[in-house]
Amino acid sequence: MIPRIHQRTHTAVEPLAQALGRPVSPEDGLTEHTVVAYWPGLDDYTQDDEQRTWTSAQWAEHLEDPYADHPYAASRYGDRHAIFHLDVTLAPEDRTLTGPEWAEIAHRLARASGIQIPGSSHARECRWVALQARPGRLDLIASLIRLGGAWYNPPADIARRVSDEARRIEADLRLIPVYDTPRTRSGNRPVPTAQTQLAAVLAQLADEQTGPLAAVRGLVEHTAQRITRRPTAAGTGTAHRLELIARRIHALQQDLDATAHDMTQPTPAVTPAAARPAAHRSQ
């Protein structure tokens, strides 16, 4: 199983077209055999399972709706390319997987990439859908704008996390494993530098799934929600302060993750200035 993370885009049309292998259409109607999984909160947004008959154009609109809901949401780089696209491809010799197996793969990859966080509050959910429209391939497409309006910045080591989860899926579903190349085998791996190790520490602190700051923020948000259920003047003010605290913690997570990302980027080589020829004085 080979995972690939695509460059973020502003529209969901292109990723959906790549997943389907054809243009997005307002008339196609995707079945449950194609849409194998989607974010858990979608059932609360639709009536009578209407998403089961959505066209690819409707899915694109659904993934792009957060732009209108949160017009000021932006990435740490200031852009609004919120559509995340991840695909995995099986080996040609792999067996044919069932629908539930594809759904399991989709949810596991969504969790590994941080798009889906088990037990998270409603505001921290991201919209996503997984399609299995091409032989031996699964595409997961998501909006990085959470329901609460915060922008989810994937961790700096997201490629490693997704790759590690792919290896575990191969083992659990008895798929043909992708062996390490000689360059990446444990005996030949480069020794991590001190800066890389420090970046890993910062990334762990900012991690949305297992990081301590995420746990603290979750407790603060949960406390604010409980206080909100008791509408009193004092309680309303306290809940508002707790929400502001949760936002500051989230901003701290984003700053730490951005710093970790910057620390892992290669330092551009400095080209020495060419030496000027010595000037000759005329006699």
Q: How confident is the model over 69-93, as pLDDT tens digits?
A: 999 999 988 899 999 999 999 999 9
Q: Are residues 44 and 144 in the same domain?
A: yes
Q: Could you tell me the residue range of the domain that residue 245 belongs to?
A: 191-264
Residue ranges of the alpha helices (H) in 90-189?
99-112, 158-173
Q: Are residues 92 and 162 in the same domain?
A: yes
Say how far residue 272 (Cα) sits from the centre of its chain. Answer: 40
275 found inside a domain: no
Q: How many domains, the chain?
A: 2
Q: Are residues 156 and 201 in the same domain?
A: no
Asked if the model's pLDDT at residue 160 lies above 80, the reply is yes
- Residue 37: what pLDDT? 93
Query: What pairs with residue 134 in β-bridges?
Result: 137
Question: What digits encode the pLDDT tens for the residues 19-78?
Answer: 999 999 988 877 788 999 999 888 777 766 667 778 999 999 999 999 999 999 999 888
Q: Are residues 156 and 198 in the same domain?
A: no
Q: Whose structure tokens read 């993934």?
A: 63
| CA gyration radius, the chain | 23
- Residue 187: what pLDDT? 46
60 found inside a domain: yes
For the stretch 97-104, contacts whose Cβ atoms lie closer than 8 Å and that sit 24 or more positions apart, written own/partner, are 97/173, 99/32, 99/33, 99/36, 99/132, 101/173, 102/36, 102/37, 102/130, 102/132, 102/138, 103/36, 103/37, 103/130, 104/173
Distance CA 228, CA 9 (A): 37
Question: What digits encode the pLDDT tens for the residues 219-262?
Answer: 787 787 778 777 676 677 887 888 889 888 878 877 887 787 77
Asked if the model's pLDDT at residue 103 lies above 60, the reply is yes
Distance CA 111, CA 205 (A): 18
What pTM was computed for the model? 0.66
162 found inside a domain: yes
Distance CA 128, CA 41 (A): 10
Q: Are 211 and 253 in contact (CB under 8 A)?
A: yes
Distance CA 104, CA 283 (A): 86
Q: Are 34 and 154 in contact (CB under 8 A)?
A: no
Q: Are residues 14 and 146 in the same domain?
A: yes
Single out the residue of 27, 46, 49, 138 nearest to residue 85, CA to CA. Answer: 138
Distance CA 62, CA 40 (A): 14
Last residue of a domain, one of 179, 214, 236: 179
- Residue 115: what pLDDT? 93
Q: Are residues 43 and 153 in the same domain?
A: yes
Last residue of a domain, one of 140, 157, 179: 179
Judge residue 116's burial from the number of C-beta atoms within 10 Å of its C-beta, 0-12 exposed, 13-18 middle, 19 or more buried.
buried
Structure tokens at 64: 């792009």
Q: Which of 6 and 211 is assigned the larger pLDDT? A: 6
Q: Are residues 116 and 232 in the same domain?
A: no
Tell me phi and psi for residue 244, to 5 degrees.
Answer: -65, -40
- Residue 155: what pLDDT? 87
68 found inside a domain: yes
Q: Are residues 29 and 90 in the same domain?
A: yes
44 found inside a domain: yes
- Residue 275: what pLDDT? 54
279 found inside a domain: no
Section 4-32 average pLDDT? 91
